[in-house]
Structure 1
Amino acid sequence: MTAPKPLVVASLEDDTGDRCVDIIQRGDADFTYAECRRDPEDSHGWRRLSAADGPSFKTQFAAYSAAIRDIPWLID
């Protein structure tokens, strides 16, 4: 049996629309976050700046709290 695909449960975008943080549920048990950026001149779309296999948190709120702590622009 294969593990469920990671699911983005929330995406927090900055005021410019060029950066975001995805809160990701991995399987049924844990959450993490990944910072992303989008360059307007690049048609690729969003690119992750951090891996989705980062730190593991038991709740979505814990992942969100860690992202606020670790990514300065989220609290600006």
Structure 2
Amino acid sequence: MKAVVVVSLEDAGGDRCVDLIREGAAWFWVECRRDPEDAHGWRRLHPPRGAFPDRAGALADARADVGWLSEAPG
């Protein structure tokens, strides 16, 4: 099954996001950034992390690792 970004949570400045990804029954997350002066768009900062059994597990792990994410709704 193809990986699908289910939700993308952006920081207040709009230059960082965390994507929650579902692939089959597993959930992953990845932090991304974009530079306003670069037309490329979003770039991943690392490979997707996880293989969590549910969305809540992926989000909890992301919140523990990404400081600004604790302020974002999810």
Stretches (4+) displaced over 4 A: none
Larger RCO: Structure 1 or Structure 2 (Cα < 8 Å, ≥ 6 residues apart)?
A: 2
How many Å separate the matches in 2 of 1:56 and 1:21?
16
* Amino acid across the alignment from 1:43: A
Q: Is 1:69 the equivalent of 2:57?
A: no
**Greater Rg, structure 1 or structure 2?**
1
How many Å separate the matches in 2 of 1:15 and 1:75?
12
Q: Deviations over 1:30-63 (max 9, x none)?
A: 00100000000000000000112x2210001110
1:45 to 21, 41, 44: 41
How many Å separate the matches in 2 of 1:64 and 1:12?
10
Gaps of 5+ in 1: none
